[in-house]
Amino acid sequence: MTGRDALFAGSVPETYERLLVPLIFESYAADLADRLCALEPADVLEIAAGTGVVTRAVAHAHPRARIVATDLNQPMLDRAMARQPVGDRITWRQADAQALPFHDATFDAVVCQFGAMFFPDRAKAYREARRVLRPRGWFLFNVWDRLSENEFACVVTEALASFFPDDPPDFLARVPYGYHDVQRICEELAAAGFAGTTVSTIENKSRAPTAKDAATAFCQGTPLRSEIEARAASCLDEATEAAADAVARRFGPGPVEARIQAYVVTTTR
């Protein structure tokens, strides 16, 4: 992890919400919300909430739950609050998952969508999640499977490796798609004190109106943008076009559809 790996700022939050959320996050958010709703928690903490796709899904699926949604990046929370204002049931708060500003045993459930990969110290973040949970509370989160099982991201990564042959950007493979060893995940949770961990594999379809939309979502709606600009600040649009051309060659110009796959982890305090 570098400082840029977890930086979602500038125009990234808007592009993330407009293109990346419908491309890869919405279906998994609905799945996570349904799993959480079945547990009927009264008080829910969301960590790494991003622009609030899970927050909105949980609020819809479980109308009686009180939700505190947190993220390290205030610009992401600002974008989330523009979609879902503060109310009686939802509180938005900037917070680091590795140092949560909440008392012990405050929540019935902690939920996190595709955020664990970004924690520099996952052991510390897992201990914090357990600390703020009430006895027998639930921790639910999901992580992406390896890059090869997520076709759009894989094609974009390969295209950028050709565009920057001397210094290929590796953000996607290294961070969001780099934490897929199920045994390691279970061991880290056990070391943090969690028990009864189960892992489910969820395959889905990712869809975009055009190949350009899919490529732009990854190249300009994630910290991959920083990696591209660090190599050639003036080449962001050109690199995005190269990725879009690669997606179009593989899946057609649009509408495009590709396979995505993730793991859903459920464990208890």
Q: What is the mean pLDDT of each run of 10 residues along the chain (269 residues)?
A: 62 94 97 96 97 96 94 94 78 97 98 97 98 98 98 98 97 98 98 98 98 98 96 95 98 95 98
In angstroms, rounded to a whole number, what is the distance separating the alpha carbons of residues 137 and 39? 10
Residue 162 burial by CB count (10 A; 0-12/13-18/19+): exposed, middle or buried? exposed
pLDDT for the residue numbered 4:
62
Using alpha carbons, select from 42, 97, 31, 96 the residue that is nearest to residue 65: 42
For the whole model, what pTM was predicted? Answer: 0.94
pLDDT for the residue numbered 87:
67
Instruction: Show Cβ contacts of residue 6 under 8 Å, excluding neighbours closer than 6 positions.
Output: 72, 73, 118, 120, 223
Domains of the chain from N-terminus onward: 12-268 (3.40.50.150)
pLDDT for the residue numbered 174:
97
What is the Cα 178 distance to its own chain's centre? Answer: 12
pLDDT for the residue numbered 85:
64
pLDDT for the residue numbered 254:
86
Provide the pairing of β-strand 90-94 with 43-46: unpaired
Q: Which amino acid is at 105?
A: A
